[in-house]
Amino acid sequence: MAKIFILAGALLIGVGLVWMVGERWGLGRLPGDIAIERGNLRIYLPLGTSLLLSLIASLLFWLFGR
């Protein structure tokens, strides 16, 4: 069980680092991302970012799977 927690922690740290670097490159504010702000309600749907990350992940899995 301890190994699972260590792996999960390392994965979360990796995701956090990628997130920080991605914000500097404009990831999260791409065309196609929907942001709705009305009063104290804020809704954010990162559709463009999700499509880009999915495309990159699919390409990497395809390359490493060969």
Total number of domains constituting the chain: 1
Residue type, 64: F
45: containing domain: 2-65
Q: How far is CA 58 from CA 10, 20, 42, 44, 50, in A?
A: 22, 22, 30, 24, 12
* Distance, CA of 45 to CA of 51 (rounded, Å): 12
- Phi/psi at 36 (nearest 5 deg)? -120, 125
What digits encode the pLDDT tens for the residues 5-56?
A: 999 999 899 888 888 888 888 777 888 889 999 999 999 998 988 898 899 9
pTM for this entry = 0.62
* Distance, CA of 35 to CA of 13 (rounded, Å): 26
Tokens of 12: 């979360």
